[in-house]
Structures are given as C-alpha cells and as structure tokens.
Amino acid sequence: MKIPFNKPYLSGDEASYIAEAVQSGKISGDGIFTKKCHSFFEDKYGFKKVLLTTSCTDALEMAAMLIDVQPGDEVIVPSFTFVSTANAFVLRGAKIVFVDSCQDQPNMDADKIEALITSKTKAIVPMHYAGFACDMNKIMAIANKYNLFVIEDAAQAIDNYFEGKVLGSFGHLSAFSFHETKNVISGEGGMLVINDEQFIGRAEIVREKGTNRSAFFRGEIDKYGWVDMGSSFLPSDIIAAFLYAQLENLDIIQRKRKLIWKYYSDQLQTLADAGFFTLPIVPPGSENNAHMYYMVCNNLEERTALTSHLKEMDIHAVFHYLPLHSSLFYVEKHDGRILSNCDFFSDRLLRLPFFFELSTEMQQQVVNGISSFYNAKLK
C-alpha cells in the first residue's frame, strides 16, 4: 500500500456548499459563507475580529502593512520556519533578525529574544511549530517591556492552546492557514485575527484594495473610495463555502488526528527509549492540536538513509525546514550569528505521513518501516 505524506480531508459537504454559494448569486468576497466562517471563529474562540484571506502568507503581509513596517525596521523571526513568516516583512523593507530554536524543540527560544532588540525593533513573530505553543508568557512580557508588536504565525496552530488560552489570541495580530496540508483546509486560504482593536478599521481597508468598501456595504458611508494602501486579500465565497464544510467538522477532524498522533507516539516509544531517535516534546503550557508527527534522527546521514528506506517501502516522509538564515536569499543579509539549534532540527527532523484517512494499518506499516531500518542497524 502506497502511503503519501498528506491527503486532503473532505467532509463531503464541500461541493454542495459551493453549489449553494454559486446559486446565491454572489460569489465574490464577504458573501454568506465568509460571514459564517467569521462567526464560527469569533464565537468558538472569542477572537475579537477575524477576516478570511486568500492565504496565511497574505494575512502576514496584511499584518506587516497594519503595523506599518518601514524600510530599516527590524523584525525578530525564527529561522526554523516557512519563508512567508519572514517574507511578509521583507516586502515592506524590514531587516529580519533571526532567532534560534530551543534546544529540545524547534520553536523560537524566548530567552534569546531580548538580546536581539535594538531601537529599530518593531515586532516579534513567533511561529507555533507543529501547532505547539511558543512561550507566550515570555514573548508577550518582552514585547510589553519594549513596546513591540507581536504577530503570531499560527498557520499550524488551529484549535490549540497555551495555558488554557487559544493560540492566535495572544499577538496584536495573528495569521492562520487553510492550505491543504493543514488540519482544516480550503485548498489555499487563510485568516487574519485582529486582537488589538486599533487595527480593525484599517484591516478591512487594506484587505479591500485600500478602499472603504466594507463600510460602504454596511451602509455606514454613501460612497466608497481610495483611502489607504492595500491589496486584494479577500477570498471568493466559493473558497469560504469549502472552508465552512470543514469547520462544521472541526471536532471530528481534531479527535481523529489526536488518535493518529497518539498511535505514532505509543508505537515509536520503545525505539526512542533505545536511543535511536527522539520523539516530539510538547513544550510546557502547550496543548497538542495534532497538526503533525515528527521524529528527530540522530544525525543527517541517518535521516537521509531512513527517508530512502521508507521511500523504497512506498512511504513518503519529509524533512523540515531549510534554515532561513542560511538560505540563498538571506545568507548575505544575515548578521552571521550561528543558530545551532535551528541547524540541528533542520538536519534531523523527519515528518511522518499524517492525514485524516491514515488508517491504523497504514500507520503500522510506517512504524514497521522505521523498525526494520533500526533493527537492521543492530545486526
């Protein structure tokens, strides 16, 4: 049986909701389904204001515009993350100051942030890797002390909590993703969460090409025009219809993913105890939203060999991430600091197949593949 790395979940209602959106006669942005999605998130998580966007990348770009990043401003970003976490700020001319990962898990090391702050620092951008929470107590305390903005890259962190408070509700602004590799999907798609009220009005404008069209449609003004910079960040209601069919099944999705996560964890414990690799550590204060399952190999060579071994068995496991501080685009701009924990995880981390329809049989096949690799090393 071939086991892919990911397979998009479908609730079964996506096509009929899309048909409904089409029949409603309004399929541009902010239609019926977009409003349903907005209410879902505001009601379930108590977010002050949410706006669907075309991607998490776009939500991050909106955030960079909203906090008014200017050329030369510095933004503190983890190096172990997806490019968009940094790119959104680079587009506004920011200098990215990369912070290393923790020693025992890939999230940004909050204890290393304060030393990076200068008079030009504008924001800190924590990314919750694998959905696991960064240390939001320390990060918010530093941000408050130095009067900095916090933008959470919560792309992987839907329905997760830090010390009982939902992720995405800590930062002034937060960005989520509904890309097909995430827990809840719309193909491409994202969401901006606005926790600091001062940004709500402008967020609507930036998302609507710099116009006050949203206020116009609410009847608050009698004509709309160009009032600020902006772009087209709102998704079609077709996308929102797809997303809403997923959101209605969020609890089912999460329950199933948690079982899949636990199965890997239980089955791989013996090999981990024998020292062949380490299992993910859920950081203190964080819940687990079962976004992904990864193992940390003992070195790069072993990870490469294990990946090939699994591939021969038709199992697709993939690494994460190439460090941004040594990327082709940023290496010359980086200040040269060695980020050894980031490099450590970049060389050793391997993500295992993880998706809603992954059966126990398939999971056992993955576990057997991993066991056969390490047992062969013992002989």
**Interhelix angle 300-312/340-348, nearest 10 degrees:** 20
Is 156 an interacting residue with respect to ligand PLP (CB under 6 A)? yes
56: enclosing H helix or E strand: helix 56-66
Query: What is 267-307 written as a DSSP string?
Result: HHHHHHHTTSEE---PPTTB-------EEEESSHHHHHHHH
Of 84, 211, 341, 363, the one binding ligand PLP (CB under 6 A) is 84
CB-nearer residue toward ligand PLP: 47 or 321: 321
Of 127, 194, 247, 324, the one binding ligand PLP (CB under 6 A) is 127
232 CB-near residues (< 8 Å, 6+ apart)? 54, 208, 209
Cα–Cα distance between 252 and 303 in angstroms, integer? 33
Is 179 an interacting residue with respect to ligand PLP (CB under 6 A)? yes
Judge residue 377's burial from the number of C-beta atoms within 10 Å of its C-beta, 0-12 exposed, 13-18 middle, 19 or more buried.
Answer: exposed
CB-nearer residue toward ligand PLP: 156 or 195: 156
Is 56 an interacting residue with respect to ligand PLP (CB under 6 A)? yes
**Interhelix angle 56-66/200-207, nearest 10 degrees:** 120
Least distance (Å) from ligand PLP to the CB of residue 153?
Answer: 5
CB-nearer residue toward ligand PLP: 52 or 358: 52
Of 6, 177, 214, 363, the one binding ligand PLP (CB under 6 A) is 177
Among candidates 158, 168, 163, 152, which has minimal Cα distance to 131? Answer: 158
CB-nearer residue toward ligand PLP: 155 or 184: 155
Is 107 an interacting residue with respect to ligand PLP (CB under 6 A)? no
Of 135, 152, 153, 343, the one binding ligand PLP (CB under 6 A) is 153
Cα-based torsion angle of the residue sequence 319, 324, 328, 330 in order, rounded to the nearest 10 degrees: 180
CB-nearer residue toward ligand PLP: 81 or 236: 81
Of 6, 11, 34, 57, the one binding ligand PLP (CB under 6 A) is 57
**Residue ranges in 237-256 that form contacts with ligand PLP under rule CB under 6 A:** none
Do strands 121-124 and 74-78 pair parallel, antiparallel, or not at all (unpaired)? parallel
CB-nearer residue toward ligand PLP: 268 or 317: 317
Determine the size of the site formed for ligand PLP (CB under 6 A). 14
CB-nearer residue toward ligand PLP: 179 or 348: 179
The vertex-149 CA angle with 226 and 91, nearest 5°, equals: 55
CB-nearer residue toward ligand PLP: 177 or 346: 177
Of 78, 168, 171, 190, the one binding ligand PLP (CB under 6 A) is 190
Least distance (Å) from ligand PLP to the CB of residue 271?
Answer: 27
Cα–Cα distance between 111 and 142 in angstroms, integer? 10
CB-nearer residue toward ligand PLP: 11 or 156: 156
Of 34, 79, 85, 160, the one binding ligand PLP (CB under 6 A) is 85
Specify the amino acid at residue 157.
A
Is 81 an interacting residue with respect to ligand PLP (CB under 6 A)? yes
Is 55 an interacting residue with respect to ligand PLP (CB under 6 A)? yes
Least distance (Å) from ligand PLP to the CB of residue 5?
Answer: 14
Do strands 173-177 and 190-194 pair parallel, antiparallel, or not at all (unpaired)? antiparallel
| Helix (H/G/I), strand (E/B), else coil: 343 | helix
Least distance (Å) from ligand PLP to the CB of residue 124?
Answer: 15
Helix residue ranges, H only, 198-277: 200-207, 213-217, 237-247, 250-273
**Interhelix angle 32-45/237-247, nearest 10 degrees:** 40
CB-nearer residue toward ligand PLP: 97 or 362: 97
User: Segment contacting ligand PLP (CB under 6 A): 8-16, 81-89, 161-169, 237-245?
Assistant: 81-89
Among candidates 31, 37, 40, which has minimal Cα distance to 52? Answer: 37
Interface positions with ligand PLP (CB under 6 A): 55-57, 81-82, 84-85, 127, 153, 155-156, 177, 179, 190
